[in-house]
Amino acid sequence: MSWAALLELAKARRAVIATAESCTGGMISAAITNVAGSSAIFDRGFVTYSNAAKVEMLGIRPETLDSFGAVSEEIAREMATGAIARSKANLAVAVTGIAGPGGSEHKPEGRVCFAIANRDGCHTETVDFGAIGRAKVREATVSHALWLLTQALVP
C-alpha cells in the first residue's frame, strides 16, 4: 500500500493522526506530510528525543522511565496515549528505540518499541531490526509505523 493510499484510507475513516517520535526524530511525520493533502488527516507530531521532552510534552511518568527505561513498550504506550490526549487526533503512533550505533545486552542496537493508540485502547510491540546501521533502522521504523497506522485503519 502506498502512503497516498494511507491518506485516502484515513480520510474515509475520518481519522486524524498524531505521531510521538523518539529515535526517528520526526521522520514519520515527514513521511505522512510528504503526501499532498495530508493536512486533512494529520494534526501534529511530537519529537521527544530526550526523556525530559517525553515527560514535558507527552506526560510520560518519570516512574515509568525509571522502571522500564526509555526503550520499552511501556514508554511507547505512554507516548501514544499522551499524543492522543494532547492533540486533536483520534489515532496515534509512537516509536522509541536504539537506532545505533551501540546498544546493550538487554537493549540491543536495532530494537524499536512501537505503540498504536486510538481513544479506545493501545497496542504495543517490539521489533528487533538488528544492527543494520542507524539510517536503515530509522527507515525500517518509519515503514513499520506507517504500516501499523494502515492496519489500524483497515476495517
Q: At what angle do helices 3-12 and 134-153 cross, to 10 degrees?
A: 30
pLDDT tens digits for the chain (155 residues)?
Answer: 567 888 999 999 999 999 999 999 999 999 999 999 999 999 999 999 999 999 999 999 999 999 999 999 999 999 999 999 999 999 999 999 999 888 787 889 999 999 999 989 999 999 999 999 999 999 999 999 999 999 999 87
CB proximity list for 17: less than 8 A, separation 6 or greater:
10, 32, 41, 42, 43, 89, 91, 92, 93, 149
Domains, the chain, in order of start with CATH, read: 3-153 (3.90.950.20)
Question: pTM for the whole thing?
Answer: 0.96
pLDDT of residue 141: 98
To 10 degrees, the CA torsion angle through 29, 6, 155, 148? Answer: -40
> How far is CA 144 from each of CA 90, 106, 114, 117, 128, rounded to the nearest angstrom?
19, 22, 9, 15, 12
pLDDT of residue 5: 86
